[in-house]
Every structure is written in structure tokens, then in C-alpha cells.
Structure 1
Amino acid sequence: MALTVLLGVICLAGTIAITALPTWKVTAFIGANLIVMEELQEGLWMNCIRHANFRMQCKAYDSVLILPGDLQAGRGLMCLSIILIIFAIILMSCGLKQSSLCQDNMKKKNSILAAGGSLYLVSFLTTLIPVCWASHSIITDFYNPTLGDSQKRELGSALYIGWATSVLLLITGVILLTRCSKRKTPEEQYYAEEERNFQDKNSISFTKTPSSIHKNQVYV
């Protein structure tokens, strides 16, 4: 279970990074000009201009309404993902065998662990949807002949982090749901061991014995 706790922390850090980074959309360098003095970056909360001397200037959006639909939806869904992952980590910690919550009631702990795994799967969707939506918007605009080169954007690093984080969220949720389905209560373990011992005692091993007729045969 230590692996799932580590994955949960990594997923939370990745989701926060995706939400905060301004590199959802970056300037697409199209044309013959090889020397570019600045790069425009657009995120969920601000847009930034990175100059060639590595100096960056950022400005928060004045209004949510000026954002395109994919970034507006991305704000809400990514904030929801962070909240879901925090609750998932809390439930996962409460569902561990070492947890004092519910004492030794393994059924309740399994239910809590399953709830945590389900939240991870929901956060997988709420993270993947805005990332894929923004990617689809960027690719569609890139091949739109009616848009000028200055209006076209490329996929930023935040989107790649989003895909990687989504995969980790899916893996963590599946591990937790698989784990809780295999854990048994002390009574179930006791009856399983008793049944196994009963089957071992009553198992009959058949050994091949020579026939009595064969013993009495006289070979000439």
C-alpha cells in the first residue's frame, strides 16, 4: 500500500502543477523566421511572455469570459480534480490495515478503500477531459486556414504533464479497487484456512499397487 500512497502524492503534485502552469498553449513558430525574441504562453489563470533573455512577464486574466471554452471548463474541472484527489488520499489513509479507524472491521475499511479508489477514477476523468479538450482545440485551430499564423498555438508542457498524471490516476484507482477486493476479514481468513486444512486431511493419494494375480503368475 506504500506504493499507492506515493502514487497519490505524485498525482496530487502533478494536478496542482497542471492547474498552475501557464504553458497550456504556447506560440506556434511558423514561417521562415528562425530568430524568435519572445514566446507567448497561455494557461488557466494567466498568460505570460517569455523573452529571449529568459525574463518572463505574466499577467492574470481580467475576466473569465475572455477565455475560450476549453480553458474555462479546464479551470473548474482541474480544481475539482485537486479536491477529489485530496479526499481520495484521506480515504485511502483511513482504509489501510494499520489505521485505527473502524478498528478491526475489515469490511468497513474495504468500503472506505473502494471509495478512495473510485474518487481516483473520477479525478482521472476530470483531469483527462480538459487536457484532451484543450489539445483538440489547439490542433483544430492549427490546421484552420482562416486563422493567421500569429493566432495559432502549439501543445504546451502542461498538457503532457496532464496526460502522464491521468495515467497515474487511473493506475492508482485500479490498484486500490483490486486491493480492497482481495482483502478478507479475520473470520473469512479463518474459515478459508479451516476449509483448506479440511480438504488437505480428506484428500486421498492413490498409489499404484501391483495386482494379486500378477504376484501369483508363474513365469516359465
Structure 2
Amino acid sequence: MASTGLQLLGLVLAVLGWAFGVLVCAAPLWRVSAFVGGELVIAQMLWEGLWMSCLSQTTGHIQCKTYDSTLALPTSAQVARSLSVLSLLLCVLALVLGVAGAKCTHCMGDGNQAPKARLGRVAGLLFIVAGLAYLTPICWTAYTVIRDFYDQNVAAPLKRELGPALYLGWGASVLLLVGGALLHVGSSAPGGRALPVFGGAAKKSSRPGTAGELKQPDKSFV
């Protein structure tokens, strides 16, 4: 039977992962300036995200500007945008299906447990796909940042470090994957219909036979 506790836990974790994913997608903290030189005084720091870049100064003043053209961005940034938005939209669809397929809800009536279980399993799979889709741009961005950091041909002012949004993105992806797995496992189809046939029916059929076998010897002696 479907486990209500696993379903609720999976939905809660998946919703948390979706909320963190929205924050990561909007935050301009995917890549931050790397200071690899011998400078002791840092006047400003550059933050870069999927949609905008921000310049933070030591005085506390922050200036943010959205990218002028989407087509002018690198291909990796465009793919990261597409996968992140697709992942968040899949989470919304999975959340609707997960709530409708949860055992504790009455969206489809109390008697339709099999269709509700199917909806829960589909929602779990969608959360898992969304987690993998969100994990891809996070890992690719981290790879490019680390590769450019250790590349001697890249100038020092152009080097970047891993921003805090990437770490939060890894956490959001893990929450989506774990929540989807728990929701899928907790939405097992209802079963247990064939047990009375092999138990009670077999005993009922065996009793008349044994009674008949016991009566036949009595009739033969009479």
C-alpha cells in the first residue's frame, strides 16, 4: 500500500529543493572574482549569475545590471538558463501531480487508490528528472570555473571562483533527487487481492473431499 509518511516527506523535500532552486536561478552568485595576485587591498568584487552581474565595492555600494543580449552570451550560459528554467517548470508539474496523487488528499476521491498511486510515481520520476536537469548546469559551471582558474593562459583578472549559489544549487539538486525517490517509493500500487483465494478457498475445497473419502469405506462394509 502507499505510504503516507514517505509521500509527505518526499513532497516536503522536493518543495524545499524547488524553492532553493528558484533562489539559485535568480541569484547573481554563480561565479565571483578570484584574487590570485599579491594585492592586499581589494577595491571591488564582481559577481556573475545567469541573468545579471553585480559589482560590489568596499564602501558597501552594489550595482547590478542584467545582460544586454541573451544571444550574445556563451553557449554554456544559454544552456544553463534553459535547463534551469525547464527544471523549475517540471517541479511545478510534479508538485501538482504529487498533491493530486497523495494518499492523504481527496482530489480524486477515496476509492481511486490505483490511479492516485500512479500519479504519485509519475510525480516522483518528474522530480528526479528535474533534479538531474538542475544538476547539469551546476556541475558544468563548476567545471568551467575550476578549469579556467588553473589555466595559465587565462589572465588573472578574468579568473573566477565558485560562488555560494553553486553550493546551494548542489543542495537543491540533492533535495529534488531524494524527494522524488521517496515519493516514488511511497506511492506503491495497492495490492494483496489474491491472498483469500489461495487460503480460504483451498481449505473449503479440501474439507468436502476428505469427508467423502471417509464415508466411502463405511458404505462398502455395509
Which one of the candidate residues 37, 41, 44 is aligned to 2:43?
37
SS at the partner of 1:32?
coil
| Structure-2 residue corresponding to 1:156 | 163
Q: CA RMSD in A?
A: 2.1
Deviation digits for residues 91-110 of structure 1, max 9, x if unmatched? 11000123223321111011
CA distance in 2, matches of 1:48, 1:30: 20
Which one of the candidate residues 56, 60, 80 is aligned to 1:50?
56
Match runs of 1:55-134 below 5 Å: 55-103=61-109, 104-134=111-141
Deviation digits for residues 138-192 of structure 1, max 9, x if unmatched? 11111111110001100101111111111111101111111112x51xxx34655
Which structure 1 segments of 5+ residues have no match? 202-220
Equivalent pairs counted in the alignment come to 196
| Structure-1 residue corresponding to 2:216 | none
Q: Percent identity?
A: 37
Which structure 2 segments of 5+ residues have no match? 1-6, 204-222
The list of structure 1 runs, each at least 4 consecutive aligned residues, that deviate by more than 6 angstroms after superposition, is: none
Deviation at residue 53 of structure 1 after TM alignment: 2.4
SS at the partner of 1:66?
coil
Deviation digits for residues 84-123 of structure 1, max 9, x if unmatched? 1111111110001232233211110111011101110110
SS at the partner of 1:39?
strand
CA contact 1:70–1:137 (8 Å) conserved in 2: no
Which one of the candidate residues 173, 189, 194 is aligned to 2:180?
173
Which one of the candidate residues 24, 29, 53 is aligned to 1:23?
29
